[in-house]
Each structure stands twice: as C-alpha cells, then as structure tokens.
C-alpha cells in the first residue's frame, strides 16, 4: 500500500502535475550556481535523479532531515527524473530553479534555502508546478490531426513499455473528435478496453463532490465561509469544527489530513461510509492553523460528503445521482460497493516485484466523496459539457468554481488549474495503485481532453498534458444576431 499512499494525492501535491510543458529543444547543460545553495541544490537533484535510496538517505543524513526518501523515489519513478532548464533566482543562501521532467512535458520550480550559519544544512525546500509557463518553454501548436498522430504514437510507446492501458478521448462542445483504446480491461476474461469501459477515477471524483457543494451554496442551503460545526454539530473535535470552513475543505487549506493511514489499513474492511471515517479520524486535530497553508486532504473531502448528507437528508451517493449524474446524462458513473460492481468495472493492475498484479484486494469497500468512484470517458465528456452549458452550475458559480482559490494558483473549488488566456483549463487528475485518470476542460474553446487507465500513474496525466499542450486552440468566433440570421 505504499504507492497508494503516495499516489492518492494528486501529483501536483508532490510536485509537477497539471502544468504546461517545456520544449524538448532545451537540451543545453546549465551550470549550477557556485554558491552554498547552488551546491546543495545540485547534490539534491543528483541524488533524486539517481533513483537510489542509499544516495537519498546520504543526502538526508548530511543535509536535510526532513527529506522523505519514499516520496522522492515515488516521484522519481513518475517523472523519470528532472532536468535543470533555467535559473530564475540565485543568491548565496537561496536558489530558485526551473526544472523539466525527463519523461514528460511538465515544468516546475525548485526553491532551496540553506542556513546562513550552517550552509551545509537545508533550511527550506519546495518543489512546485508553475501556474503559467513562459511561452519559450512551450512546444509548438499543431493541427488537430498532427497532435492526434503524435499522441497515439506516444501512447503506443507507453503501452509497449508496460506503462499504459486505457482510453483517450478528445471532444469539442460535447461532440467526440478523437478516441482510441489500448490494452485489456480484464486480463482473465480477455476483455479489451473500449470507450464504454468503466474505470475507477480515484481523486477525480472530487470534482463531483465540489459541484454538489457549490449547487447547495448557489441554492443558499449552505454557506462556504462558516464553520462546519453548523452542518456537523456532533463532530467529535469541536475545536476543529468551529475553526474549519467549507471553503477551506474545498481548497485543501483546512489541515484535515489524509485517510490512507496505518489506522485505516487496520480497519479497512469495516470502513464503509463517511461516518465510519469520521469515527476513525474525527478526534484528530488539524495539522496546522486552518487557512494558513495548503496541503492536499482526502479527509477534507470526506467531510464535504458528510455535509452534503446532512444538508440534503440523502446519502452522498443518492445526492450525487440527483444533482449531477441524472442531469448530465451520466449513466455509467457511480460509487457503489465493490461487491456490487466488481465485474462491471475494469480490473486495476499495479506493478509489483512479481509483475502486474490485480489491485482488487487493496480497494476500499466503496468510493467516497474524496474519490474511488468509477466512470467512462463518455460520461466525463457529458459532465464537462453540462458544466460548460450551465446545466450544473450557473455561469457565475462555474466561474467561482474554476477560479484560483489558493496562493499556489493551482487549485480552485475541487478543480485543478493550469494555463492562461486561451490555454486556461480546469479539471482533475486521480491516481492510486492500478488506476489513473486525468481530465482537462478548455472553456475558451469548449475542448475536453481525457484519459482513463487501469494501470498505475502517471501515464494518463502525461498523455492529457502532452496532447493538451500541442492541440490547436481555435477560439470560436461569436456571431451577432444579424449574422446568425443570415447563416444557412
């Protein structure tokens, strides 16, 4: 379950997902600054890129006791390593670098500060995506057909490398433009993946939870800026309940922590509904003063699910069905218990020392408001189109839902963000052992790009980003009423 704990967070929380890409032409070797901060940054990146636990442990012991070797190795596996492409800021004791994935398009910054009294010790370290990437680090836009040809070639290579099995689709204004599937949905039954295959979504289901919460806010049935004690009056930790707001839960700024812990693992078979998670974690104090930091929290979205139940008087799953799935025409989406739908969903395959293994023994009893439900590429296109058409939220509330709400500028209300102007997009990635998916919605053009996989991350996210950064972005010309009348 180690990889599950890493991947259940969206990749941006670890480092570099959901951002734009860098040009593959940038291959020149850039020297690190000859400063205390520059030397440690170079050593740290060398240890990271090696993919060796012993070198990471050595760096941790000598320079940075806060380094997590497990997380570093997980991220190294997902990125293939990182290359230095630019030095954005430097000084004797602080350096800021621009890095690019070796195996993908993603670009982010690494900031490292050393102690001026002990320059061999890391004082602070941060690895984060760039909300908007400079134009000179972006690839060239291609025609729709050229972009699709390059995408399928990349997907074919990932399949050959044993890194991808799933589907990829592109739609515009609800109309499917491109789609293709690779691999098997169930190896035992010899069932191939198709556009009708249901895949587990992991954290992508947070989008549905957020939209349901915002619908209730739009209907004035709840407020985003009041303590959650108003809606969960019997919450075990009353101090937390009187501090944390729905806004903070939506934006991962509440400090409410994760659910995939050792305590959860010990009781996984008996943890079934949102109240079970609250019984397990409800006494836990926030990890920091609510609102003071940004840290991805699956438990925060479990609490949002409990709030939806309290306000609507329905189960979370019934509320989502009535508020989102039925209006959007999503007939193949849900979060029923695994025992009811196991043979109706693709089997997840995760990498182990013995090779690819079935992930079903590690799955939760059912999906929650934090993730774990299932859907198809077609249903997620319907969801995106319903959002763009204003059938789930009004235009003003959709704008609020997809507007940056955090200091990182990377998260809104249940949606991850990226790009600017015509390249601005919102959506979400999700991943855990044997499941991976990514969705991007481009509101300026009505384009939707989606990949779903029954393999480990990060291939689905890589493919969505790869195509999204190369596809044409034609903004539709809005005709006047007179022009519309003349159109035949």
Q: State the CB neighbour count (10 A cutoff) for residue 99.
A: 24
CA separation, residue 355 to residues 187, 349, 457 (Å):
14, 9, 16
Contact 448, 439 (CB under 8 A): yes
Q: Give the per-residue pLDDT at 481.
A: 41
Q: Give the per-residue pLDDT at 28.
A: 58
| CATH code at 2-137 | 3.10.450.280
CA distance 356 to 167: 19
Q: Give the per-residue pLDDT at 140.
A: 87
Q: Give the per-residue pLDDT at 476.
A: 57
The domain spans of the chain are 2-137
* CA angle, 425 then 296 then 326, to 5°: 55
Q: Give the per-residue pLDDT at 288.
A: 95
Mean pLDDT by 10 residues, the chain (488 residues): 36 36 50 93 95 95 94 84 89 92 82 94 90 80 94 96 96 96 96 97 96 98 97 97 98 94 86 94 95 95 98 97 97 92 90 86 89 96 97 97 92 94 94 95 96 95 94 65 38
CA distance 123 to 102: 27
Q: Give the per-residue pLDDT at 10.
A: 41
CA distance 281 to 259: 8
């Amino acid at each position: 379950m180690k990889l599950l704990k890493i991947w259940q967070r969206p990749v941006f929380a670890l480092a570099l997902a959901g951002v734009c890409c860098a040009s593959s032409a940038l291959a020149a070797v850039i020297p690190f600054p000859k400063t205390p901060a520059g030397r440690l940054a170079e050593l740290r990146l060398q240890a990271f890129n090696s993919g060796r636990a012993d070198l990471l442990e050595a760096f941790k012991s000598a320079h940075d006791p806060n380094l997590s070797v497990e997380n570093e190795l997980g991220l190294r596996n997902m990125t293939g390593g990182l290359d230095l492409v630019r030095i954005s800021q430097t000084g004797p004791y602080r350096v800021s670098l621009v890095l690019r994935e070796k195996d993908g398009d993603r670009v982010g910054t690494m900031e490292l500060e050393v102690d001026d009294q002990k320059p061999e010790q890391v004082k602070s370290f941060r690895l984060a995506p760039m909300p908007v990437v400079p134009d000179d680090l972006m690839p060239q836009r291609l025609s729709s057909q050229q972009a699709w040809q390059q995408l399928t070639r990349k997907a074919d290579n990932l399949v050959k490398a044993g890194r991808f099995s799933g589907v990829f689709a592109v739609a515009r204004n609800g109309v499917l433009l491109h789609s293709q599937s690779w691999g098997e949905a169930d190896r035992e039954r010899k069932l191939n993946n198709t556009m009708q295959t249901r895949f587990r979504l992991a954290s992508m289901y947070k989008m549905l939870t957020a939209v349901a919460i915002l619908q209730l806010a739009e209907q004035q049935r709840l407020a985003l800026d009041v303590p959650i004690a108003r809606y969960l009056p019997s919450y075990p930790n009353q101090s937390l309940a009187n501090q944390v707001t729905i806004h903070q839960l939506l934006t991962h700024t509440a400090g409410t922590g994760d659910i995939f812990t050792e305590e959860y693992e010990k009781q996984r078979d008996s943890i079934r509904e949102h109240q079970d998670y609250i019984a397990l974690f409800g006494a836990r104090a926030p990890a920091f003063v609510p609102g003071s930091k940004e840290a991805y929290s699956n438990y925060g979205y479990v609490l949002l699910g409990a709030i939806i139940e309290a306000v609507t008087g329905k189960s979370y799953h019934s509320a989502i069905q009535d508020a989102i799935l039925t209006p959007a025409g999503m007939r193949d989406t849900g979060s029923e218990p695994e025992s009811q739908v196991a043979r109706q969903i693709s089997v997840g395959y995760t990498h182990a020392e013995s090779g690819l293994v079935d992930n079903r023994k590690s799955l939760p009893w059912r999906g929650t408001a934090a993730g774990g439900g299932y859907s198809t590429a077609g249903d997620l296109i319907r969801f995106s189109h319903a959002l763009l058409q204003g059938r789930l939220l009004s235009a003003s509330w959709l704008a609020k839902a997809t507007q940056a709400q955090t200091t990182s500028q990377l998260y809104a209300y249940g949606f991850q963000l990226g790009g600017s102007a015509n390249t601005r997009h919102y959506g979400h990635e999700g991943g855990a052992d044997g499941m991976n998916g990514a969705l991007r919605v481009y509101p300026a053009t009505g384009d939707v790009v989606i990949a779903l996989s029954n393999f480990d991350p990060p291939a689905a996210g890589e493919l969505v980003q790869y195509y999204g950064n190369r596809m044409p972005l034609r903004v539709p010309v809005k005709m006047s009423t007179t022009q519309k009348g003349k159109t035949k």
